[in-house]
Structure 1
Amino acid sequence: MNSTQAKIDSILAESPIVVFIKGSRQEPVCGFSKQIIQILESYTNDFSCVNILEHLDIRQEIKTYKNWPTFPQLYVNGELIGGVDIVKELDIESKLEEILSQ
């Protein structure tokens, strides 16, 4: 395990819900990041955001960390849930709340 993987492990251990996005929670710089934040905020405000534009090492490593090459990426309890398309689908199917509350 390299130091960036260890950093990602540490970030995921600090908060049960973590989303890796482009921009900040207050100012997402891509539509997909904004969408995932809006969906998450409809359930909870208790989640952490990591701005991959400020952390280039994480931006590169997270793509292969769980073999998911695009952003945003949602993790719950250290497990990759997916990107905005999967999160939207889980929301529509009324499955997201259960996942977030685990």
Structure 2
Amino acid sequence: MIRKASIMYVYKDKYEEYQRCHDELWPEMEKELKEHGAHNYSIFLDEESGQLFAYLEIEDEERWNQMASTDICQKWWTYMEPLMETNPDNSPVSKELKSVFYLA
């Protein structure tokens, strides 16, 4: 398993809506994530800053990278765009984090 972590940003007035969207994650989005090798996917919120910390484990980097080009992912990004900082293609502004410690 490959462990990945990143930081994204949700607008402060959109916390509840962001939570609701993930509580009601589309079944087809969940299916696609799993088909692209995602496991143990968690997102945490710092309510003071609006910073999101995302952690997931993937099976294969190349397979995971193909997720972004799927129709369902593109649809999800468009759906989430009003709630968070995004790039011109509606993907979340995201900064990948470097692993510096791991205790199995």
What TM-score do you get using the length of structure 2 for normalisation?
Answer: 0.30
**Greater RCO (CA < 8 Å, at least 6 residues apart):** 2
Structure with the larger strand share: 2
Structure with the larger helix share: 1
| Structure with larger Rg | 2
